[in-house]
């Protein structure tokens, strides 16, 4: 019998454990629908804020050995303008996760309340963007992270995911704090940084924002360690994100303790087919090793 790739996150069923991570192809309903049709188990929107935001000027992203560095500056159409996009995104047939950010606890609550009108399947709270000052302090403060979680939980009726940053020595305190505040799922990790790339020609930083977050295969070992630690420390499921490009990457992330995997940078390097490819490779690996379901893999490293 074929192994089952199904997984469940806080009662939300995914046909397979691959999730389009926030920030990639998530700015329109049409692109989200396309990714869902291509085989992603779920799709996440670009992080939405209270009002439209242009983001930083170019250059905002650079390809480097082992991944990307980026500082987009959270460009997004604003939560009010995204409700119609959610309707289109849902036509893709996969659960839609709305990613939101805020500069204050009140703003998190307000954005959450507004996005709930569009009935996303889940809401992801981005407390971890490395390029926005306020975002960063939420993700490295257990108290603020707990307050943001609580505010969003009160504003929506769907499961709430909180996305953590690896750029803190309080990772496990933050994880426990958001779990205690009612988070249903944790996703980890957001990009690592801030980092800087300097153009030797001019002596100036390459990115207009000077610094940005690292993503892709170069951060996979950090992502695996964070997911292993977080899933050992909390009861709620974890979405593992960071450098997932192949079925084996996904298997390793599940073994580290994730119940699903986020795929972002690999959409640039491997194309939109990456979701079906990861699933095919994962299924092949599981069949070869006689694993019957993703559950057999989740947390295997610790057992």
Residue 158 is among the residues annotated as catalytic for this protein: no
Q: Which is nearer to ligand DHB, 125 or 297 (CB)?
A: 125
Asked if residue 55 lies in contact with residue 74, where contact means CB atoms within 8 angstroms, the answer is yes
Identify which of 210, 187, 188, 186 has the alpha carbon closest to the alpha carbon of residue 197.
Answer: 210
Q: How far is the CB of 74 from ligand DHB (least distance, A)?
A: 4
Tell me whether residue 17 or residue 166 sits nearer to ligand DHB (CB atom).
166
| CA distance linking residue 37 with residue 91, whole number of Å | 9
Least distance (Å) from ligand DHB to the CB of residue 242? 10
Residue 207 vs 255, nearer CB to ligand DHB: 207
Residues found near ligand DHB in the complex (CB under 6 A)? 23, 70-74, 126, 129-131, 190-191, 213
CB of 32 to ligand DHB, least distance (A): 17
| 259, 241 Cβ separation under 8 angstroms | no
Distances in whole angstroms, Cα of residue 200 to Cα of each of 63, 167, 197, 226: 16, 27, 9, 34
Residues 25 and 271 sit within 8 Å (Cβ to Cβ): no
Nearer to ligand DHB, 245 or 298 (CB): 245
* Catalytic entry in 129, 158, 226, 279: 129
Q: How far is the CB of 5 from ligand DHB (least distance, A)?
A: 27
Q: How far apart are CA 179 and CA 110, in angstroms?
A: 21
Say how many C-beta atoms besides its own lie within 10 A of residue 50's C-beta: 19
192 with 213: CB under 8 angstroms? Answer: yes
Residues designated as active site: 129
């Amino acid at each position: 019998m074929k192994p089952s790739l199904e997984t469940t996150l806080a009662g939300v069923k995914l046909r397979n454990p691959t999730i389009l991570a926030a920030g990639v192809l998530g700015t329109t309903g049409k692109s989200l629908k396309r990714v869902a049709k291509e085989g992603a188990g779920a799709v996440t929107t670009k992080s939405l804020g209270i009002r439209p935001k242009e983001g930083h000027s170019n250059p905002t992203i650079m390809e480097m050995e082992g991944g990307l560095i980026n500082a987009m500056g959270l460009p997004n159409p604003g939560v009010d303008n995204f409700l119609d996009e959610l309707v289109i995104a849902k036509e893709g047939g996969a659960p839609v996760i709305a990613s939101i950010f805020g500069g204050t606890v009140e703003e998190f609550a307000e954005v959450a309340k507004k996005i709930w009108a569009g009935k996303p399947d889940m809401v992801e709270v981005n407390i971890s963007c490395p390029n926005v000052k306020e975002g960063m302090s939420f993700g490295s403060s257990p108290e603020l992270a707990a307050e943001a979680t609580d505010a969003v939980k009160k504003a929506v009726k769907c499961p709430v995911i909180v996305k953590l940053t690896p750029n803190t020595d309080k990772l496990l305190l933050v994880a426990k704090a958001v779990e205690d505040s009612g988070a249903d799922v944790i996703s980890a990790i957001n990009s690592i940084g801030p980092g800087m790339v300097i153009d030797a020609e001019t002596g100036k930083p390459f990115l207009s924002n000077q610094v940005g977050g690292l993503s892709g295969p170069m951060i996979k070992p950090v992502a695996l360690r964070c997911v292993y630690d977080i899933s050992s420390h909390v009861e709620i499921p974890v979405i593992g994100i960071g450098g997932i490009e192949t079925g084996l990457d996904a298997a390793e992330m599940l073994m580290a303790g994730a119940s699903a995997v986020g795929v972002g940078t690999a959409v640039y390097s491997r194309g939109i087919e990456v979701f079906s490819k990861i699933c095919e490779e994962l299924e092949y690996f599981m069949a070869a090793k006689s694993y019957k379901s993703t559950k057999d893999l989740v947390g295997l490293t610790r057992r």
